[in-house]
Structure 1
Amino acid sequence: MFDGLKRLWGRIVNMFNYTTLKSIVGKDVALSQTMIDAINKWKNMLAGKADWCDDTVESLKLEEGICREFADSVLVEMEAKILNNDSMDKVLQKSLSDINEKLQTGLALGAMVLRPLGPDKAEYVAADKFIPISFDDSGSPNDIAFLVVKCIGENSYFTRVERHYFTNGNLTIENKCYHSESLNDIGQSCSLDEVPEWANILPGPIIYRGMTEMDFGYYRNPVDNKVDGSSCGVSVYESAETLIRKADRQGARLDWEYDSGERAIHVDERALKSKGGKTYLPRLKKRLYKGLNLEDGKDKELYKEYSPAMRDEAFRRGLEEYKREIEFNVGLAYGDLSDAQEVDKTATEVIASKKRKYNRVTAIQEKLEACLNGFVNALAFYNGSYMSGVEFICDFNDSILTDEESERQQDRQDVSMGVMSALEYRMKWYNEDEETARSKLPEQNQVME
């Protein structure tokens, strides 16, 4: 059976170092060890297993929230369709059914590939499952390797390296197979026939003349790569790593404040009853009591309450501030991660944050549209329709920014018409409770008889 995808990248890290990859493809590889380490770091953060998470600090899963919010905003009311080929459009629509969760992973790991598997199937490949060998001037891979690992028996591993590149401007695909008896070594070159499922795959290289672009769609986050300066994609939360770490630790402090602040009653050992070698207080909550030799002497108190003052509000304010800094850093709007009721910002700052998010979401949409366009062209290639052309449309809803101002203006009109009260308006747009909003309403002029 095939190794699980979770094990694949761990094996790549162990055995596909730069030297091994260079030896397989016969040239320098764009994927550096620095990027491999970074992708693993982002993947662990997404899974709640960042380096700083341990028995005392649990992940708040802010990384997951960031990716989910961006994916939801990017894909809301997205319409993508192939107009002149129903069979290909069915393949596209089936692929789009999983695009939200796949895009979330792509946002987290920096890049992803959507590629056809023949004329009627497709798959998403995250950045931890392919090896970019080189990029063109636009930042898209023009030489790439996909890896498939199969385990036969207990210690017999076969790795198929499927490489896509150009020869004199034409798409070229070749397959190589390697066998190893260890997870830490790619092993020796072998025939594809040794794996029954791969027996019908031609090793190549096979040149497809007339196919002048890659046979897949490639998505890369619109984030500048400051990890190694290459064209490899970077996680949307890479620049907020330090802030996310601080937020996770602040969350741990808040949890500890609640745990350590639980009310307890210290009781003298004389107040405890003994049964079977154990001391107890009958009919009372066990977790409220703790045996303690408070003071010798009959005239001393046998009970003493432990009920410290809670400092949770201070910790919560600190946590919310970290969340707002993360929102600013990654390009989200205030309230996407933080508590919207506690966003102490002016209307101008809130609108500016909406514009910031709008710009980032628009940039992601442009990259995604290019990815889908590449996928459709690749699908046309595998369906024999590449030369005849396909008509593809992709539209996105840009209401992130416009809805805010339009809705606010409409509410102003409703107030002036009397169908919405000024109290409701303040509560909605100033995030005020009823009492606060009512106290800030302008006094009405009274007519004297």
Structure 2
Amino acid sequence: MFEGFKRFWKGFMQMFGYTTLKQIVGKDITLSDKMIDAINEWKQMMNGQADWIADSIVSLGIEEGICREFADCALVEMETSLSNERLDRIYQKNISNLNENIQEGLALGSFVLKPLGEAAAEFVSADKIIPISFGDDGKPNDIAFLTVKKVGDVDYFTRFERHYFINGNLTIENKCFHSQTSRDIGLPCSLEAVEEWANIDPGPVTYPGMNRMDFGYYRNPIKNRIDGSACGVSVYESAVDLIRKADIQGARLDWEYESGERAIHVDNKALKQDKSTGRFSMEKLKKRLYRGLNLEAGKDQELLKEYSPEMRDEAFKRGLEEYKREIEFSVGLAYGDLSDVQEVAKTATEIKTSKNRKYNRVTAIQNNLYDCLEDFAAGLAFYNSMLNSGYEFSCKFNDSILTDEETERQQDRADVSMGAMQLWEYRKKWYGETEEQAKVAVQNPAEVIE
């Protein structure tokens, strides 16, 4: 059933292939088939449905962990507002769920925060965005959004909403398509075919004087090596193979525990047979006590024989932790963000370097998010006839990734001074020394904390 769902989902996405989209737009588009396939892969990974997930291999949720960590760090103590009180209330309401939506944007490479009239807005994920062309600033100057609605059992309606410029002025048009299969976008139809879309003007409608897009566009600060376009790339694209290895390693660890359950070999006659299948199956966990043993195979067989293999879980754990550290390095996280911080045998210099690496990546994300929110605010102002009213946009981020480490170090120094922490413990934590090395070092009377 699970495999069937994955095939259905892939088929559903195929209706938005490059050739079909090019025919709808009437010209070449930036979004290529390679990017469509990549977005599809990133989406499956984020949902725990990567191609390698099957049978005993389950997702460890590393992709979600990566996106959640970057989102939390980027938004922690973020302060943003608009100077106009009425506009600010609308703005704050619509960014209240920014964290969960930027996580999806980080996973799929980009997202759009688009006003829906005066008071409402929606987040549009990359799998529903059709970049047609980009300007020199890396922002889309011709873009379309897809909204799919299923009516009944076999009717699929797709709204194709396009935003572009005519003579430097924003223009919006809407088209509707109907199909009776999820594998084809179908034929053009009226927007009135769907009740919720009946009052939408198909256009094109041009807004004189509006020389910018009416939404905020966010793109991950990562070079696109999929097709070289300006389309956004997943924050974990560079670690796809490593995440696959980690998921497989996690399955090995699970199998080690499962296969290592203690059992006692007994004659098959002592086991109960499943009447429906005719098989002799073993119980799980605490009920798994007996295992079949065919005494008729040889006269010298033992009547009872304990099955208790040596566990190799520590070796599998070390391998899994190493994969996690490689993923942290690849995507720009700090050591210990995904891996077990107790297992990170790094010097203080290496730890600081990893913190700086993460800080640089988070700062780049914040810079792109700043532009997105500023453009979204302008879109809200446009729909509220306040674009030229003189409102001011404000957005500030902090640098807690670096300052938190220094604060923690100062606290540890205070703990050493008051006797709540041993000096050798401080050295072990901040100098990357072993317990033995730290204890030897503190024997030096001239030892001081730097």
Q: TM-score, normalised to structure 2's length? A: 0.88
Q: Which residue of 2 aligns with 1:357?
A: 358
Shift in Å, 1:415: 3.2
Matched, 1:157 2:156: yes
Q: Deviations for 1:39-97, whole angstroms, at most 9, x for unmatched residues?
A: 010010111111111002111110011001111111111111112x2222122212222
- Which amino acid is 2:335 matched to? Y
- Which amino acid is 2:189 matched to? C
Mapping of residues 184-195 of structure 1, within 5 Å: 184-195=183-194
State how far apart, in whole Å, the 2-side matches of 1:253 and 1:274 are. 29
Shift in Å, 1:437: 8.7
Unaligned runs of 5+ in 1: 1-5
Q: Which residue of 1 aligns with 2:214?
A: 215
Shift in Å, 1:409: 4.2
Three-state SS of the structure 2 residue aligned to 1:94 is helix
- Which amino acid is 1:197 matched to? E
State how far apart, in whole Å, the 1-side matches of 2:214 and 2:374 are. 11
State how far apart, in whole Å, the 1-side matches of 2:78 and 2:420 are. 33
Kept in 1, the 8 Å contact 2:347–2:433? The answer is: no
State how far apart, in whole Å, the 2-side matches of 1:120 and 1:398 are. 32
Three-state SS of the structure 1 residue aligned to 2:175 is strand
State how far apart, in whole Å, the 1-side matches of 2:318 and 2:231 are. 37
Kept in 2, the 8 Å contact 1:143–1:163? The answer is: yes
Three-state SS of the structure 1 residue aligned to 2:288 is helix
Kept in 2, the 8 Å contact 1:8–1:129? The answer is: no
Q: Which residue of 2 aligns with 1:305?
A: 306
Q: Which residue of 2 aligns with 1:79?
A: 79
Kept in 1, the 8 Å contact 2:332–2:358? The answer is: yes
Q: Which residue of 2 aligns with 1:262?
A: 261
State how far apart, in whole Å, the 2-side matches of 1:226 and 1:93 are. 35
State how far apart, in whole Å, the 1-side matches of 2:273 and 2:419 are. 73
State how far apart, in whole Å, the 2-side matches of 1:130 and 1:274 are. 57
Shift in Å, 1:423: 4.8
State how far apart, in whole Å, the 2-side matches of 1:397 and 1:157 are. 46
State how far apart, in whole Å, the 1-side matches of 2:294 and 2:186 are. 68
Alpha-carbon distance change, 311 to 86 in structure 1, aligned in 2, over 3 angstroms: same
Matched, 1:98 2:97: yes
Q: Deviations for 1:325-346, whole angstroms, at most 9, x for unmatched residues?
A: 0000000000000000000111
Shift in Å, 1:26: 1.2
Q: Which moved more, 1:397-406 or 1:133-142?
A: 397-406
Matched, 1:206 2:205: yes
Shift in Å, 1:203: 1.6
Mapping of residues 375-390 of structure 1, within 5 Å: 375-390=376-391
Q: Which residue of 2 aligns with 1:130?
A: 129
State how far apart, in whole Å, the 2-side matches of 1:111 and 1:200 are. 29
Kept in 2, the 8 Å contact 1:79–1:396? The answer is: yes
Kept in 1, the 8 Å contact 2:173–2:203? The answer is: yes
Q: Which moved more, 1:249-258 or 1:104-113?
A: 249-258
Q: Deviations for 1:222-277, whole angstroms, at most 9, x for unmatched residues?
A: 0100001111100000010111111111111111111111111112468x499999
Three-state SS of the structure 2 residue aligned to 1:146 is strand
State how far apart, in whole Å, the 1-side matches of 2:358 and 2:107 are. 17
Matched, 1:15 2:15: yes
Shift in Å, 1:431: 7.9
State how far apart, in whole Å, the 2-side matches of 1:43 and 1:298 are. 59
Alpha-carbon distance change, 303 to 131 in structure 1, aligned in 2, over 3 angstroms: same
Unaligned runs of 5+ in 2: 1-5, 446-450
- Which amino acid is 2:241 matched to? T
Alpha-carbon distance change, 398 to 9 in structure 1, aligned in 2, over 3 angstroms: farther
Mapping of residues 17-416 of structure 1, within 5 Å: 17-83=17-83, 85-268=84-267, 272=270, 286-294=287-295, 301-409=302-410, 411-412=412-413, 415-416=416-417
Q: Which residue of 1 aligns with 2:3?
A: none
Q: Deviations for 1:117-139, whole angstroms, at most 9, x for unmatched residues?
A: 01100110000111111111121
Q: TM-score, normalised to structure 1's length? A: 0.88
Kept in 2, the 8 Å contact 1:9–1:128? The answer is: no
- Which amino acid is 2:370 matched to? E
Matched residues, percent identical?
A: 66
